[in-house]
Amino acid sequence: MKRKLKAALLAVALLGFGVQTPLSAASAKQAEPSASKKSQVKASNKKPVRSTVASGKSSRSVAGKAQRNKTASAGVAKKAHVARQSSKKLARHAALTDMDPGRLALYSASVLVIDQSNGHVMVEKQPDMVVPIASISKLMTAMVVLDARLDLQEVIAIGDEDVDGLKGTRSRLPVGTTMTREAAMLLALMSSENRAAHALGRHYPGGMPAFVQAMNRKAQALGMYNSRFEEPTGLSSNNVSTAHDLARMVAAAARYPEIRHFSTTAEAKIELKGRIREFRNTNALVRNDNWEIGVSKTGYISEAGRCLVMQARVADKPVVIVLLDSQGKMTRVGDANRIKRWMESASLAAERSPA
């Protein structure tokens, strides 16, 4: 009995070896993707490969050609699928790259962008570097005046003491010019008039020494521990701060309606000594309809470079932007626009990405 069983198994093995090629072809065909499992089963049952092998030369040629066409079609389809997947991956990678703040080409030496809604730091570049801040100081000047609740309609005068003896800068406010404290604050914030800012400090109760002390007390109260003020205009390079400290100051300044209004006024006509004079904002972005700016202040002295701070709404987010020590004349504006485009692109990419 055992001998008969071994003989039968040997016969089966030999038969299997004899039909190895057609069976392999059949298996390859069955491995190809089909429209449905049902059609695949039918194809297996019909055994088209066995029929082809049993047929003549012409049948083998036709079947082989059909097989090659199917294989080629499958290859093309596979390549197209891979190409589509690669394209999707590249598009997704590009969107994520756009969201990477490290790839932003910013030319200001110190940069900080903070989302005010959650305190998240979105962009930073040497944010703790202590540097001169030039006329950004005038935001502190305005807060100290407003905190003292001084009469904004009181008339003050430009005196010899208000003439710039540090840098020799010019002014459109001759000595003897009189204006309200409100007008002086407008000119200091909008047009960065140094004589107007100095006059605000000089007409403070207790004079300039008391005013400077009040500036530094305010800085400490705001947590600006790396900041120091020596005078109200920013002409002194001893008026220093960091991007982190200035972000605190800008956020605080945004709580004053007068500062919000005066610092973002595009232009104003003011009567000085019987003549109407027109003044413009030193930040061209406040005249740009694509920007929604709440607080703005520019600054420049050679030691500080060109500076710009803003509180604005970008990509539907309230943000504080601090740009310090920009060497080129338009660099600070260019950096601000680059940050805005980056935020808008990142927001758009986030909206399009699947949940």
Task: Enumerate the active-site residues.
Answer: 135, 138, 192
Distance of alpha carbon 286 from alpha carbon 326, whole angstroms: 19
Which residue type is seen at 293? I
Distance of alpha carbon 26 from alpha carbon 81, whole angstroms: 26
> What DSSP line would sit under 53-103, residue for residue?
HHS-HHHHHHHHHHHHHHHHHHHHHHHHHHHHHHHHHHHHHHHHHHT-GGG
Distance of alpha carbon 232 from alpha carbon 252, whole angstroms: 17
SS3 state of residue 15: helix
Among 163, 204, 178, CA closest to 270: 178
Q: Which residues pair with 311 in a beta bridge?
A: 295, 320
SS3 state of residue 309: strand
Please count the other Cβ atoms lying within 10 Å of the Cβ belonging to residue 40: 16
Secondary structure letter of residue 228 according to DSSP: B
Query: What does the block give as tokens for 259?
Result: 């500062």
